[in-house]
Chains A and B, each alone.
Chain A
């Protein structure tokens, strides 16, 4: 081992840390080699900006003088129902929640899904007030039964984003083998493999740069939609045993993390509600994870480039929904995806992404600046993610 996280933090605090993005490091390693880079570089920053459906926020709403128990009752924010099965004043609003009686697909087909939980969250982060409507059964200690009020962050003791699954390590490339256009969570797919949609920042994506979760674990501090957040747990559907290439990169969707952060500190630049025509509402979030360069092995991992990362091409007309047919149809590299065209079943297919590489770059660059200015320190993971391969000397 060359460095410890404590040594790196001391360098960050004295303004001497050498920080590069996961994109910048690729050429440096090609020029200087692994050993030299490991000595010179302290931290590599990753970034991603992408729709992540498993997102939502906990709110604790300040009581009025006559108190109310929303727990066990109901609460809506701008007409979108929040989960109210918690304590008197705690609710959870999921990003994909839709307003009651929403016309969904009847509002013309395919449905537009113009407003939902993610939009409520973005409105609050943008400093807007939203309409709370709540009802409860009333008790001796919480007599109020109804509450209707415009509320913003000032009317909440706490608001934090808690996303059970973010940062998927690799993802499917979606195509449509059928003869009709389909509307999916991977966007609109034209018939006859008319287009291919992918959703990962590839070489900048956090978990591609630490494929065996050697430094990213529970307690890792991350850049989260403009605030500092933390890895709270492994994400739901975390699957470290997915088949891997020789370089450790999983060939199919694999690791995930659950993230938590203070919503009041987040900014609309890094958190955006999105509407998938014919599918629903979800939230795009910015995540940047700093990776400490502890030794040469970490340099090898963070120097991974788009040519070395492959994703499976999956049919979303029959295979994904019904499990019918062959899968994957083939696999392609992120370099091919980013060229704008891939070949599937002998056909040249144009590609588009939902994960913004332009924004992922900004996230990684911004996190780099924060670390260089001493405003963001690394936090050692307190427990490994399931399936982590951590050699003793690296800890």
Chain B
């Protein structure tokens, strides 16, 4: 059993193919879409959690490669700048997965990239700009509303 978070990059000529459908139906991979930004006819990015037997997952990733989808590992995408973080805790209630959490004895706030689903809530909420988005995702998502806003708007 394998489980991982990936950022899928779609170029303009493949955004209209039912890639996620093929991934699920043909390779038996479980796909949980955490975040997506795809406009038909343009490039897009999707953050997914992929799970399945080892062989299913690697065949699935092979399929993505063949179709021209870039699949990058997610963990480095959100960075916690510890020198700017003051452990104020204002981000904690906005983090849906407790990737950001506070130890109520030491009052230090810590970030666990494993739990992060890149919902971006913390990026807008952290007043010290201690949460940043790096890599390919940033250009697609930084000026958009956070996932939470999309839902509640």
Contacts and interface: CB of A to CB of B under 8 A. Distances in A.
Interface of A: 49, 51, 108, 110, 112, 114, 180-181, 187-188, 190-191, 194-197, 272, 274-277, 284, 338-340, 350-359, 361
20 contacts: A110-B124, A181-B148, A181-B149, A190-B148, A194-B152, A196-B93, A197-B90, A275-B129, A277-B125, A340-B104, A350-B93, A352-B91, A352-B94, A354-B88, A356-B88, A356-B89, A356-B107, A357-B89, A358-B106, A359-B87
Given A340-B92, A356-B87, A359-B87, A276 B127 contact: yes
Contacts of A350: 92-93
A351 B90 CA distance: 8
A338 B92 CA distance: 12
Contacts of B109: 358
B107 A361 contact: yes
A352 B90 contact: yes
Interface of B: 84, 86-94, 102, 104, 106-109, 124-125, 127-129, 143-144, 148-149, 152-153
Contact of A284 (B86, B104, B152): B86
A96 to B, nearest CB: 13
A358 B148 contact: no
Contacts of A194: 152
A188 B124 contact: yes
B106 A191 contact: no
Contacts of B91: 352
A338 B104 contact: yes
Contacts of B125: 187-188, 277
Nearest to A279: B127
Contacts of B86: 49, 272, 284, 356, 358-359
B93 A195 contact: yes
Given A51-B127, A108-B143, A110-B124, A187 B152 contact: no
Contacts of A112: 124
Contacts of B128: 272, 274, 284
A305 to B, nearest CB: 15
Contacts of A49: 86
Contacts of A197: 90
A290 B104 CA distance: 25
Contacts of A352: 88-94
Contacts of B84: 272
Contact of B152 (A51, A180, A275): A180
Q: Residue among B87, B93, B102, B124 with the most chain A CB within 10 A?
A: B93
Nearest 9 A-B pairs (CB), nearest first? A350-B93, A358-B87, A274-B127, A358-B107, A352-B90, A356-B86, A356-B88, A277-B124, A195-B93
Contacts of B88: 352-356, 359
Nearest to B92: A352
B109 to A, nearest CB: 8
Contacts of A276: 127
Nearest to B90: A352
Given A180-B153, A191-B152, A272-B128, 19 more contacts: A108-B143, A181-B149, A187-B125, A188-B94, A188-B124, A195-B94, A196-B93, A197-B90, A272-B86, A274-B127, A340-B92, A350-B93, A352-B90, A352-B94, A353-B89, A356-B86, A356-B89, A357-B107, A359-B87
Nearest to B88: A356
B90 A354 contact: yes
B49 to A, nearest CB: 24
Contacts of A356: 86-89, 107
Contacts of B102: 340
A358 B104 contact: no
Contacts of A351: 93
Contacts of B144: 108
A51 B86 CA distance: 11
